[in-house]
Amino acid sequence: MAGRLVLVTDVDLPAAVRQACADFAAALATRAGMPVTVAAVPVRYLDALEDSLRRDDDAQRREHSPAARLDPAAPMTSAPFRWRTDGRPDWGGMWTTFCELALYGGPPQRGPERPLRATRGAVADSDGEMLAEMRRGIWETTGLYTETAEPGWLAVTCDSPAMAAWMCAAIILENVGARLDDDRLLLPAGPDYRLMDEVKSIITVVAKTHHYWQAHVADTGRVARDGARG
């Protein structure tokens, strides 16, 4: 069929890469105005296909490599801060896309020289403005309920202990402290947190990891199948 588009991938690719391929195919189908088939096959078929293409003079092929990142540990660039008409942060509208998690090789939310950790003995004011913004931001971006846990920690109630454990592990790799309490994810909540620094970092990592959990991990039983990666 003239104009047919087929994307063939290795069936053993990580979940995040498979999802990226599916997202690319959907965008390509929209732009090209024709269906795009995504086929996941054993790598031996890909090897045979590549060998055939190399030997076929009529075949045109081009390999693209990922852009190099000078410092893999460098933190992600900050998303522009957006405000609502009432002067409060627009947490729900601040992100339209998410960069790759540090778990999958993306830039961490914070650099190793500026990790966000809970301060020993810190007491977060349960009525404090910054804590209220953290709770509001997490609710607007994820719909997850939050509450003050022990001094210096904010508890996010997840859908299951597995979800809390996966998000906790992913957040720690973003250079942000996190702990577990059954189905609750515990995050640092210091009394001196600043809106455009620590508060934004907490909301960002929760929004990012929650998005990946919902879109790439929790569906179709990937928690069990891709256990080594999340």
What is the CATH superfamily name and number for domain 91-229? Aspartate Aminotransferase, domain 1 (3.90.1150.10)
Residue predicted with more confidence, 72 or 95: 95
For residue 146, what is the enclosing H or E element?
strand 146-148
Domain ranges of the chain: 5-55, 91-229
The answer to whether the predicted template modeling score (pTM) of the entire model surpasses 0.85 is no
For residue 16, what is the enclosing H or E element?
helix 15-32
Q: pLDDT band at residue 96, thresholds of 50, 70 and 90?
A: low
- Quick: pLDDT tens for 11-32: 888 877 788 788 788 888 887 7
- Quick: pLDDT tens for 200-227: 999 999 999 998 888 777 664 555 434 3
- Please name which of 68, 116, 128, 76 lies closest in space to residue 98, comparing C-alpha atoms: 76
* Under 8 Å between Cβ of 186 and 180: yes
List the structure tokens of 227: 């256990």
List the structure tokens of 118: 């809970």
- Quick: pLDDT tens for 146-187: 998 878 889 999 999 999 999 999 999 999 999 999 999 999
Using the predicted structure, report yes or no on whether residue 123 has a pLDDT greater than 70.
Answer: no
List the structure tokens of 67: 């852009």
The pLDDT value given to residue 228 = 31
